[in-house]
Structure 1
């Protein structure tokens, strides 16, 4: 039977899922208060994850009846965060839980009907005191890094945002005032992030640096990965002389033709995508006793943010793209990372991750798997060395551009044969690069 369109609906507004591996979000602030009216598409609140900050729009026009979680609360995905009153005449997602309610009927009375609105469980909250557990957006952290403002100094800046949130204008005003708190004494507190096990270790003394929210999330993710996946790391060495020479010979012509920089990253992604097609079981995740082999080859790139933290933007369907498209995608994602402009779609869906540790001058690395994937590849610095090579006239010593590759894999589902064969295949594709390739 159709409902009377004169009656409004009470809608359980839930914490949205903002990425494949995202299980919770931190409410930054509400842009509407209880009792406020809003239109479809208005931004109701801002939510932060360990990846990016997101604006959550209203699904339809209506009134914000009840807010279940306040700013700085950490809320699981799918949990009811607010109750909205919307009109039957507005288009609503049928997958959402909608509770019919007569006009002017109190919300409390509707909770006694057969379709009760379930109260959310207790969740962990972030301390509201800005001196302890302060929350700063990635934009604020980026500005602080550029201006060499410490976390302790940042926590002392007077904030004018809602619920004491520090705004960009606050930081710039503080800088204009001559940074009066730059040399204020800090209150030293125990920085221990993990309480289990309780080891009575001498941690020493020194400057105390509080972990920001993203660093805490990264720490949790890394510890979870090491506890979940038995890591094994394999190494190979590759001769990239032909690739390096080709890239050096063609990078200017490539940029002139396509208006895109030609870095080594799209060449690495191209080789990795080809090797994944040869060994598809490396492109997988684990669900209990099941192995899920992914049909799409989406390559994540571990990328440094201005704050010093890492994020993994994703090149989607890398095996289906030519070098020009790969270069365009890589350059765009790197630029968005540097400017804190990544959105949730940019960082979700990764099936295999690469980490170019050579960018920082490292010869090789032992990367930690980016869950829920089963392998991650680290690429070391490309370094010229004297190597013995085979020629038609015998062995000779020549200067070659060499690079170490290291693959960490989940030994629950990837054995040495698969891991080693895949790693060797990536190296082969890099070594066998066609020096006569056209751009």
Structure 2
């Protein structure tokens, strides 16, 4: 028998920690290799973690709802075989300290329920505090409302952790107005009825959306595209495409093709903000907002979309949509997007104003494709024809993207869609 230290495995790009949802085994239980040991959750997706060895569980170091860093030891087992060398040399974990209720910020945090709060406009945010804020989707505006106990008004890690323990009471508070006016603390009657608890994913979505609106000054631009030629081409070729590639030809891969070309022409759209620096991404990774059977939303990612052919795009989008419906998306499937699209037309919406998927610079919404009588200008004269029209809306972060860039990019997408290559046959 050999002692094995089971570590929290890598769960995807940029994932640094995970919350334990449920252990499938207890201390004293025997587990086979590849049998599911526990379930964990990240800010992207839930995952099942299998055992990497067979053996008897001797110790479980973390309980459900505790957050664990990637690579931390979470359990120990007596194994049937020899332990790999890298496991033998693993360092022992340190148990989490028990939280106390006597921190000096407790009284200050209780006063946070007021409708107006003071804001520290000269707040210094250290890299450690910045990392914690990003992890918990706390905007800089919200950070500035947290009472700081460090020297010269510096915000300490303990200040932020205490604030989180107290339930983020300043999250929706209004700053005190300098002219003496304060937003009234209106006690709305929320009514009575059936109470539905938000599940963990819905809570994360809500938090992410609030963070995005607090962080990015949202502006939305609109354009209309005539998709008649694209629609007619797809109707003629979708059966031949499916026979040749064994893939359904939806509009999603067609849209992604056009969007990828527009991004290549306007690369500043494919960026994010890091302090006072703009990071223009080297890859075009398109996130496609996808509704789950539960009613929640998730964003699987088509990586390097501009390098994929139409059949490859169709295969990838169909695969991701299927995995989303079946709850089988991995953390890697939902990380690394650089630009997101949301097809609100799927639900019959004419158009939408989506919220930016942080830390991206913009998000596109595609509306329903609807037949409409349009005036067509031709050399022989104007005429009224039935055309397949679609509204496009681009929500963009005005810190990075100005109106000229947003409008030009959006118009380029519409042009790519209207001028889609209909010479392809299958």
Provide the TM-score with structure 1 as the length reference.
Answer: 0.71
Counterpart contact for 2:300–2:333, Cα < 8 Å: yes
Tell me the CA shift for residue 256 of structure 1: 2.2
Q: Secondary structure at the match of 1:418?
A: helix
1:405 to 2:392 alignment: yes
Scaled by the length of structure 2, the TM-score of the pair is 0.73
Query: Alignment partner for residue 267 of structure 1, among 254, 257, 277?
Result: 254
Match in the other structure for 2:120: none
Mapped partners of 2:351, 2:197: distance in 1: 29
Q: Which residue of 2 aligns with 1:138?
A: none
Q: Say which is worse superposed, 31-40 or 385-394, in terms of deviation.
A: 31-40
1:372 equivalent in alignment to 2:348: no
- Does the CA-based 8 Å contact 1:242-1:434 persist in structure 2? no
Check conservation: 2:32, 2:51, Cα contact below 8 A.
Answer: yes
Match of 2:204 among 217, 228, 232: 217
Specify the SS of the correspondent of 1:226: helix
Q: Which consecutive residues of structure 2, in runs of 5 or more, have no partner in the other structure?
A: 101-166, 174-184
3-state DSSP class of the match of 1:206?
coil
The 1:233–1:213 alpha-carbon spacing in structure 2 relative to 1, beyond 3 Å, is same
Q: Give 1:322 deviation, angstroms.
A: 1.1
Alignment of 1:349-428 (within 5 A): 349-428=336-415
Residue 412 of structure 2 corresponds to residue 433 of structure 1: no
SS of 1:399's equivalent in the other structure is strand
Distance verdict in 2 for CA 1:85–1:341, change over 3 Å: closer
Are positions 1:120 and 2:96 aligned together? yes
Give me the whole-angstrom Cα distance separating, in 2, the residues matched to 1:229 and 1:119. 38
Q: Distance in 1 between matches of 2:274 and 2:35?
A: 37
Structure 1 gaps, min length 5: 1-5, 100-115, 125-192
Considering only aligned residues, what root-mean-square deviation do their CA atoms show, in Å?
3.0
- In the TM superposition, residue 117 of structure 1 has moved relative to its aligned partner by 3.7
Which of 43, 59, 67 matches 1:66?
59
Secondary structure in 1 matching 2:352: coil
Q: 1:316 to 1:93 in 2, by over 3 A?
A: farther
C-alpha contact (below 8 Å) 1:275/1:425 kept by paired residues: yes
1:57 maps to what in 2? 50
* 2-structure distance, mates of 1:26, 1:219: 18
Alignment size in residue pairs? 346
Q: 1:207 to 1:31 in 2, by over 3 A?
A: closer
1:290 is aligned, of 259, 272, 277, to: 277
1:27-85: CA deviation from partner (whole Å, max 9, x where unpaired)? 222233335565665533211335432122345566644322212x1415438452536
Q: In 2, distance between residues paired with 1:22 and 1:372?
A: 15
